[in-house]
Amino acid sequence: MATTATVAAVSGLSPAGARASESTRTTGVSARENPRRIDTHQHVVPPFYAKWLESRGITAGGLPIPDWSVEGALDLMDSNGIETGILSVSTPGVHIGNDAEARVKAKEVNEFCAEVVDKHPGRFGFFATLTLPDVAGAVEQAEYALTALKADGVVLLANVRGTYLGAPEWDPLMETLNRHRATVFVHPSELPTPPVDGIPPYAADFLLDTTRAALNLAKRGCLERYPELKIILSHAGGFLPYAAERMARVCSDDGSTERGIERLRKFYFDTALSSSPYALPALLAFAKPENITFGSDWPYANKERSSHFTGLLDTFDLSDSERVAICRANALRMFPRLV
The candidate with the shortest Cα–Cα distance to 312, out of 269, 271, 268, is 271
Question: Count of alpha carbons within 13 Å of 1, Cβ hemisphere only?
Answer: 12
CB atoms within 10 A of CB 101: 14
CB-based contact 142:176 (threshold 8 Å): yes
Q: In what order do the strands lie in the sheet with 82-88?
A: 37-43, 82-88, 124-129, 153-157, 183-187, 230-233, 268-270, 292-293
Q: Of 14-23, 29-38, 127-136, 195-204, where does mean pLDDT reach its minimum?
A: 14-23
Q: Is 155 left (phi over 0), alpha (psi -120 to 50) or beta?
A: beta
| pLDDT tens track for 244-300 | 999 999 999 999 999 999 999 999 999 999 999 999 999 999 999 999 999 999 999
Contacts of 51 (CB under 8 A, 6+ apart): none
Q: So where are the chain's domains?
A: 36-338
Rounded-to-integer distance, Cα 75 and Cα 261, Å: 39
Rounded-to-integer distance, Cα 36 and Cα 331, Å: 11
CB-based contact 114:150 (threshold 8 Å): yes
The predicted pLDDT at position 48 comes to 97
The predicted pLDDT at position 20 comes to 40
Give percent of the chain with pLDDT exceeding 90: 87
Query: What mean pLDDT is predicted for residues 141-155?
Result: 98
The predicted pLDDT at position 332 comes to 97
Query: What mean pLDDT is predicted for residues 110-122?
Result: 97
Residue 178 exposed, middle or buried by CB count within 10 Å (0-12, 13-18, 19+): middle
Question: How confident is residue 17, by pLDDT bands cut at 50, 70 and 90?
Answer: very low
Give percent of the chain with pLDDT exceeding 70: 91
Contacts of 226 (CB under 8 A, 6+ apart): 174, 175, 177, 178
The predicted pLDDT at position 31 comes to 66
CB-based contact 36:18 (threshold 8 Å): no
The predicted pLDDT at position 22 comes to 43
Rounded-to-integer distance, Cα 69 and Cα 292, Å: 27
The candidate with the shortest Cα–Cα distance to 240, out of 260, 264, 276, 219, is 264
Total residue length of the chain: 339
- Tell me what the pLDDT averaged over the chain comes to: 91
Q: Of 12-16, 63-67, 135-139, 181-185, where does mean pLDDT reach its minimum?
A: 12-16
CB-based contact 312:289 (threshold 8 Å): no
Rounded-to-integer distance, Cα 205 and Cα 197, Å: 12
Query: What's this model's pTM, rounded to 2 decimal places?
Result: 0.91
Question: How confident is residue 30, by pLDDT bands cut at 50, 70 and 90?
Answer: low
Has residue 1 got a pLDDT over 70? Answer: no
- CATH number of the structural domain 36-338: 3.20.20.140
Has residue 147 got a pLDDT over 80? Answer: yes
Amino acid 200 reads: P
